[in-house]
Amino acid sequence: MSNNASKSGFSKNTLIIGAVLAVIVIWAISAYNGMVKVEEQATTEWAKVQSAYQRRADLIPNLVNVVKGYASHEKETLEGVVNARAKATSITVDADDLTPEKLEQFQQAQGELSQALGKLLAVQENYPDLKANENFMDLQKQLEGTENRINEARNSFNTAVQEYNLKIRKFPNTLLAGIFGFDKMAKFEADAAAQKAPEVQF
């Protein structure tokens, strides 16, 4: 009689433990998938940021050529833009390796390029012919659109990163995040040196 009693007790305990384990596993799977989802959204937004910055970089050679045609002796300014562009495009940050340090490095390089661009565009004030040049005006307009895209992409990226960081830092998700290597992602910060978009003036 005691054997029967112990057998049924064991089964009951097993069931309970099994159920609890099942719940934990199901939760873990769900939480993991959720974190993966938001991480993917953040990396996708990062790709859009890079795409927007690349778009700007692609416009610069044409811009330099047009300005050179009218202001060839603005050598320092032209070289500054070319060098800044080269530096900015050389820094590539993989979404899987988006550490705060690398993001800061990326942001700084792009900031320097923005400043160099600003100086280049300011040259037009001294060259009315350049200012009136149709190609130059078209490039300015494209540049303006590109800056808007960069802003939107950065905002979207920051939103996605925020959502990801919240997800992985909330309890009990934070337990899983540490196990599976979900690390906090860095966001774009406002540049203290005033990372200003080049002003386009007509």
Partner 1 sequence: MELPFTNFKLTGFSGCLLSIPALLFVGIAGVIGQQFYDEISPYIIIVATLAVLGVIISYGKSANKTHADDIKNYKDLQEELKHITVKYNANISELETSYKNEIKGLSNISKLTQKSTIRSNYSSKYTAIRKAYEKERDQYQMVWKATHGGIKLKNIWQMLFFIGFVLILGACSFSMGVTMEPEEPVTGVTALMQSRTWSADNIPMPHMTDGSQYVSNPDSILSQNVVDSINIVLRQMDEQFDIESAMIIVGHIENDDPIAMVRGVYQKYGVGKNNRGLVIVVGYLDHSYFIAPGRALEGDLTDLESDQLARTYLIPSMKAEQPDSGMFYLARGTYALFAEKDMPVMSSLTNTYNGQEDEEDTESMIIMLIFTVLLGGWAYYANSMSRKLGFNSTSQTRLRANPFIDYTTAAIAAGSVLGSSRSSSHSSGGWGGGSSHIGGGYGGGSWGGGGAGGRW
CB-based burial, 71-86: b 16+ in 10 Å, e otherwise: beebeebbebbeebbe
Task: Find out whether 54 and 89 touch, Cβ atoms under 8 Å.
Answer: yes
Nearer residue to partner 1 within complex by CB, 55 or 119: 55
Provide the minimum distance between the beta carbon of 144 and partner 1 in the complex, in angstroms, as a whole number. Answer: 7
Provide the minimum distance between the beta carbon of 150 and partner 1 in the complex, in angstroms, as a whole number. Answer: 7
- Residue 32 and residue 42: Cα distance in Å, rounded? 15
Q: Shortest CA distance to 52 belongs to which of 97, 88, 99?
A: 88
Nearer residue to partner 1 within complex by CB, 97 or 134: 134
Provide the minimum distance between the beta carbon of 47 and partner 1 in the complex, in angstroms, as a whole number. Answer: 12
Task: Find out whether 185 and 170 touch, Cβ atoms under 8 Å.
Answer: no
Tokens of 27: 């939760």
Provide the minimum distance between the beta carbon of 21 and partner 1 in the complex, in angstroms, as a whole number. Answer: 40
Nearer residue to partner 1 within complex by CB, 140 or 165: 140
Nearer residue to partner 1 within complex by CB, 142 or 174: 142
Provide the minimum distance between the beta carbon of 195 and partner 1 in the complex, in angstroms, as a whole number. Answer: 16
- Residue 32 and residue 173: Cα distance in Å, rounded? 8
- Residue 171 and residue 166: Cα distance in Å, rounded? 10
Torsion sign (Cα): 25, 31, 35, 40: positive
Give residues in contact with partner 1 (CB under 8 A).
48, 52, 138, 141-142, 144-145, 148-153, 155, 202
Provide the minimum distance between the beta carbon of 33 and partner 1 in the complex, in angstroms, as a whole number. Answer: 23
Nearer residue to partner 1 within complex by CB, 49 or 64: 49
Nearer residue to partner 1 within complex by CB, 144 or 183: 144
Tokens of 165: 């960081």
